[in-house]
Structure 1
Amino acid sequence: MSEYLVVLTRRSIKWSKLLKGKGKVQKNVKLKRYVRKGIPNEHRGLMWMAASGAQEQLDKNSGYYQTLLGAEHDPKLVETIRTDLNRTFPDNVHFRKTSNPCMQKSLANVLVAYGHHNPAVGYCQGMNFIVGYLLIVTRDEEKSFWLLEALLGRILPDYFSPSMLGLKMDQEVLGELVRLKVPRVSQTMSDNSVTWTLVVSRWFICLYIDVLPVETVLRIWDCLFYEGSKILFRVALTLIRHNEALIQQAQSLPDICQTFKQITAGPFVEDCQTFMQRIFTEPGSLPSTTLTKLRATCRSRIIAEEP
């Protein structure tokens, strides 16, 4: 950590020079390089808002969030959300009922507002953790609402819809990518009849929250908001490829499940600086055209298999 603090201080000075107090940013190669090396905490909210298009939506829809909060709420939705509040980061000081202010109230507000903004999704488990992270970074309900809208509406469409088609599709896509890039792991999965959903659904649905260490997750999200969902595959492929030998040793379904829990802990993922460098080298090239084709194939297959 002491080494990482030196890196953070250096990055912070560079970012302050780059932004020069500007509230707007222009996407370019230099900025992408900066984002991949990590956004300092003090600029993170601003950058996520700008890069994801959330700021643009907030500016276009001034007062919309307050209108949603002021409208009549569906009691069933409110009750479902309320049930999950205490389960959201119970160990985090900001989410304890004794805290002042306690973020549980803001968390409930953002989730209820989003449930009414997008009734097709409403509320799904997993969304509470995502909004919790957004609130910790932005300390702002309205910004968190628009960042959630950017994630669920544009970056990860259909992840949280009732059928969760986007989520199922991307897990299948990961399976195809592993077959192409780490064939021996793919073979181990087939030999033991293990579906990808079984071992990676939590990675994707929680966007690595409570799967990887906090600082590593924030660094992944920096790239997710800037570059899109491709980052989720880069992270998954790096974890799998780096632990290829370990996964191959697994002899049964329980063994494989245990190994996949194991590979998300330890020094490799705790050193977020090195880990983030590896996600852009270890999986090799990952063209958007390849992802688009794989998604179309997997989507058709899932729809065809549904009763």
Structure 2
Amino acid sequence: MDKKWNGTHSYHQPQLRVNVPSTAKERVSSVDPYGFKRSDDFDYESYEEFMSEYLVVLTRRSIKWSKLLHGKSQVERNVKVKRYIRKGVPNEHRASIWMAVSGSQEQMEKNPGYYQSLLQAQHDPKLMEAIHTDLHRTFPDNVQFRKTADPCLQKVLYNVLLAYGHHNKDVGYCQGMNFIAGYLIIITKDEEKSFWLMEALLGRILPDYYTLAMLGLKTDQEVLGELVKAKVPTVWRAMVEHNVMWTLVVSRWFICLFIDILPVETVLRIWDCLFYEGSKILFRVALTLIRHNQAYILQAQNLPDICDRFKQITKGAFVEDCHTFMEKIFKEPGSLSMATIIKIRGACRARIMVEES
């Protein structure tokens, strides 16, 4: 498979086929199962070649998950479930598994009617305006978010963001949240579940990422720098030599949780683990991208060149093969405990607060 397909939203589960046309382009829909329109340079032949292999994996995982769940949506947190999640959650179970392992299902059941009460409350005009401004910018390449779609997911997206803005007044709304909410809506197909998953991500898994000061986001960018210094020191030295701040090259990775950075199927596999294992998954992904491509990054001659190479390493065959990529993120970075991350976070956070005081 030398030539791979291009585009941010790359390969997904295949569409149902009614006939058997002669070319791959005729066999595969121009819109993927998540509603994203495939790019003009999408490589249909390579997509089919990959899917012929990946379908076997998807089928095997689906059978194993069905046996594990026995028709239930709840799962216990244990070694087996963790292993299953790392190997991928089938789409038919994804929403319920995310809800269960993140604690969102429990929160929703403890607070019946809370989501609707947020929508029925008096709304902040500034919050409403900020959300409205971003609606048309959210996934313009997704047919489900177009105004002509029936139903149009823009209205659902507006409701989820508005409710969350009133629920978490420290955050309100900021750019990037629309893409996260949009992904959640595509997968859950449910407003209230999307809201509670947002609450898990922004309130518990990634605190202070989206507050006005964005202290959590700034801290984690610096944490990544410290991890690169320890695990990929040649790249760290190159960053220092060319005076490249980490925020220049990885801020979008963190704030968008790799949406529009990596192919959608790869992002969903990352999110499977993010909801179960927490924020350390973001570091595993970032370290794998950097470590795997260190020779390419080290060829950079200056700051703009490094920035461009960080964009290029999120494309191509390595990230498009989501199953192999996910195996790599648990091998390539080596040991990475939450205790280590918390310790480095404390030091980085203190340093940032001194610098900004």
TM-score above 0.5, yes or no? yes
Identity of aligned residues (%): 74
1:23 is displaced (CA, Å) by 2.5
1:105 maps onto 2:133 in alignment: no
Specify which of 77, 80, 84 is matched with residue 134 of structure 2: 84
**1:163 CA drift (Å):** 0.4
Q: TM-score, normalised by structure 2?
A: 0.85
- Give the letter aligned to residue 49 of structure 1: M
Q: Quote how far apart the aligned CAs of 1:288 are.
A: 1.6
In 2: Cα distance, 1:91 partner to 1:102 partner: 14
Cα distance in 1 between the residues matched to 2:65 and 2:293: 34
Q: Give the whole-Å Cα distance in 1 for the aligned partners of 2:297 and 2:223.
A: 19
Q: Deviations over 1:255-300 (max 9, x none)?
A: 0000000000000000000000000000000022211110000000
Distance 2:177 2:218 in 1: 17
Find the aligned partners of 1:240 and 1:148 in 2 and give their Cα distance: 28
Q: Which letter does structure 2 place at the counterpart of 1:81?
A: I
CA distance in 1, matches of 2:95, 2:73: 11
Structure with greater proportional helix content: 1
Deviations 1:234-257 (CA, angstroms, capped at 9, x unpaired)? 000000000000111101000000
* Aligned pairs (5 A) from 1:201-212: 201-212=251-262
Q: Indicate yes or no: 2:176 matched with 1:130.
A: no
Instruction: Name the structure 1 match of 2:346.
Output: 296
Match of 2:216 in 1: 166
Q: Which residue of 2 aligns with 1:223?
A: 273
Report whether the alignment pairs 1:10 with 2:60.
yes
Aligned position for 1:20: 70
Q: Distance in 2 between matches of 1:2 and 1:195?
A: 42
Q: Which region of structure 1 is more displaced relative to structure 2, 202-211 or 66-75? A: 66-75
Gapped regions of structure 2 (runs ≥ 5): 1-50
Q: Does 1:193 align with 2:260?
A: no
1:139 & 1:273 partners in 2: Cα distance? 24
Shift of 1:31: 0.5
Does the alignment pair 1:182 with 2:232?
yes
After superposing on structure 2, the runs of 4+ consecutive aligned residues of structure 1 that deviate more than 2 Å are none
> What do the CA deviations read for 1:119-172 (whole angstroms, capped 9, x no partner)?
111001000000000000000000000000000110000000110000000000
* Shift in Å, 1:24: 1.4
In 2: Cα distance, 1:77 partner to 1:143 partner: 21
Counterpart residue number, 1:48: 98
Please state whether the residue corresponding to 1:128 is helix, strand or coil. helix
Match of 1:36 in 2: 86
Could you say which residue in structure 2 is the equivalent of 1:277? 327
- Return the letter of the residue paired with 1:117: H
Deviations 1:58-103 (A, max 9, x none): 0000000000001111111111100100000011111011111010
| Length-normalised TM-score, structure 1 | 0.99
Q: Give the structure 1 partner of residue 305 of structure 2.
A: 255
Alignment counterpart, residue 141 of structure 1, candidates 191, 205, 209: 191
**2 CA distance for matches of 1:273 and 1:57?**
31
Structure 2 counterpart of 1:190, one-letter code: V
Q: In 1, Cα distance between the equivalents of 2:55 and 2:213? A: 43
Aligned-partner Cα distance in 1 for 2:188–2:93: 10
Q: Report the Cα distance in structure 2 between the residues aligned to 1:97 and 1:14, rounded to whole angstroms.
A: 39
Backbone CA RMSD of aligned residues: 0.6
| Counterparts of 1:159 and 1:2, CA distance in 2 | 39
Instruction: Identify the range of structure 1 (19-28 vs 274-283) with the bigger mean alpha-carbon deviation.
Output: 19-28
CA shift digits 1:201-252 (9 cap, x unpaired): 0000000000000000000000000100000000000000000001111010
Provide, for residues 100-122 of structure 1, a one-character-per-residue CA deviation record: whole Å limited to 9, x for no partner. Answer: 10100000000000000111110
Work out the CA distance in 1 between the residues paired with 2:66 and 2:151. Answer: 29
Q: Distance in 2 between matches of 1:102 and 1:203?
A: 28
The 2-side partners of 1:208 and 1:229 are apart by 13
Q: Displacement, 1:2? A: 1.9
What is the CA-CA distance between 1:3 and the residue it aligns to? Answer: 1.1
How far apart, in 2, do the equivalents of 1:80 and 1:14 lie? 44
Instruction: Quote the residue 1:268 is aligned against.
Output: 318
